[in-house]
């Protein structure tokens, strides 16, 4: 089984961090291939960065389809392009925010999130609402560290995440902590030990969830609103999407 882990930003170091964390947790028969878009922002810290990154994610999914990939992970905590990516494939596609939220509700009744910058908290809140977990999450907290500090100034970043995690433990009445950034994928154990709570990290959670779906023979439904997109012309730099051969004999409504 090959899982394509897509880092939606264009920072190679973070792709490696994410890919390594994914491979480390993967089952023996699972091959992780970590990629990143050829086009896009070096980090994702706003709705704007996220919207731009989504097109890169979609191109990576299209490439994955040509490579015969079995499942996809979108490794940014805003789950950029998730539903669009699902339309492109019969394979499962999992976002890391989604994966972490689901897993957290299975081991605790209430959890909190620690993300990077406060301004991205709203993205997590909107996802919690859409996925149904608004009331399972007590609070979305921010360590107020830029995403790339996780790469460039890892120790200071770790310290701040742990501090915020401890505040969550002491103030929020929670049973688990969710890490709110793909770049934290290698910090899970240290944070869990320092905070004294089960810590759910999205990249690793998504690897196991995609393995689970593939094991069940379940892929993205091609009936209804996640069916392949209707083929149509695309203009300009997206012209290469014009000929995507969605299997035209699928049921759509």
Q: Which of 66, 68, 235, 249 binds a second copy (CB under 8 A)?
A: 235
How big is the site for a second copy, counted in residues (CB under 8 A)? 96
Choose, by CB under 8 A, the member of 74, 75, 103, 158 that binds a second copy: 103
Within 39-98, the residues that bind a second copy by CB under 8 A are: 39-43, 45-52, 54-55, 58, 81, 83-84, 86-88, 92, 94, 98
- In 10 A of CB 120, how many CB atoms? 23
Nearer to a second copy by Cβ, of 66 and 237: the residue is: 237
Q: How many CB atoms lie within 10 A of CB 140?
A: 21
Q: Which of residues 3-22 bind a second copy (CB under 8 A)?
A: 10
Q: CB-based contacts of 133: which residues, under 8 Å, 6+ apart?
A: 101, 105
Closest to 204 (Cα-Cα) out of 186, 227, 224: 186
Tokens of 193: 């030990």
- Nearer Cβ to a second copy (132/156): 132
Is residue 67 exposed (0-12), middle (13-18) or buried (19+ Cβ within 10 Å)? Answer: exposed
- Shorter beta-carbon distance to a second copy: residue 161 or 174: 174
Report the distance separating Cα 139 and Cα 2, nearest Å: 35
Of 19 and 228, CB closest to a second copy? 228
Both structure tokens of 7: 């880092």
Place of tokens 């310290």: 159
47 or 167: whose CB is closer to a second copy? 47
CB of 68 to a second copy, least distance (A): 19
Among 32, 102, 113, 191, binds a second copy (CB under 8 A): 102
Burial (Cβ within 10 Å: 0-12, 13-18, ≥19) of residue 194: middle
Residue 192 CA from chain centroid, whole number: 20
Task: Report the site for a second copy in 108-127 (rule: CB under 8 A).
Answer: 108-110, 117-122, 126
According to CB under 8 A, which residues from 182 to 221 bind a second copy? 196-198, 200, 204-205, 208-209, 211-213, 215-216, 218-221
């Amino acid at each position: 089984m090959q899982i394509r882990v897509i880092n939606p930003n264009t920072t190679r170091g973070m792709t490696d961090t994410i890919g390594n964390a994914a491979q480390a947790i993967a089952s023996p028969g699972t091959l992780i291939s970590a990629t990143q878009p050829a086009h896009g922002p070096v980090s994702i810290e706003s709705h704007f960065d996220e919207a731009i990154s989504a097109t890169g994610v979609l191109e990576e999914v299209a490439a994955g389809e040509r490579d015969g990939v079995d499942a996809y992970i979108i490794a940014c905590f805003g789950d950029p392009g998730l539903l669009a990516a699902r339309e492109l494939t019969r394979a499962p596609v999992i976002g890391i925010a989604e994966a972490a939220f689901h897993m957290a509700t299975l081991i605790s009744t209430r959890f909190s999130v620690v993300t990077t910058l406060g301004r991205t908290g709203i993205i997590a809140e909107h996802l919690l609402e859409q996925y149904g977990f608004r009331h399972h999450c007590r609070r979305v907290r921010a360590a107020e560290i830029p995403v790339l500090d996780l790469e460039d100034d890892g120790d200071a970043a770790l310290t701040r995440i742990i501090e915020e995690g401890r505040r969550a433990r002491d103030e929020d009445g929670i049973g688990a902590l969710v890490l709110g950034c793909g770049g934290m994928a290698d910090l899970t154990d240290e944070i869990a030990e320092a905070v004294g709570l089960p810590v759910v990290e999205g990249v690793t959670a998504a690897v196991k969830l995609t393995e689970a779906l593939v094991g069940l023979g379940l892929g993205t439904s091609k009936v209804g609103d996640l069916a392949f997109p209707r083929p149509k012309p695309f203009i300009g730099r997206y012209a290469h999407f014009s000929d995507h051969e969605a299997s035209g004999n699928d049921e759509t409504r």
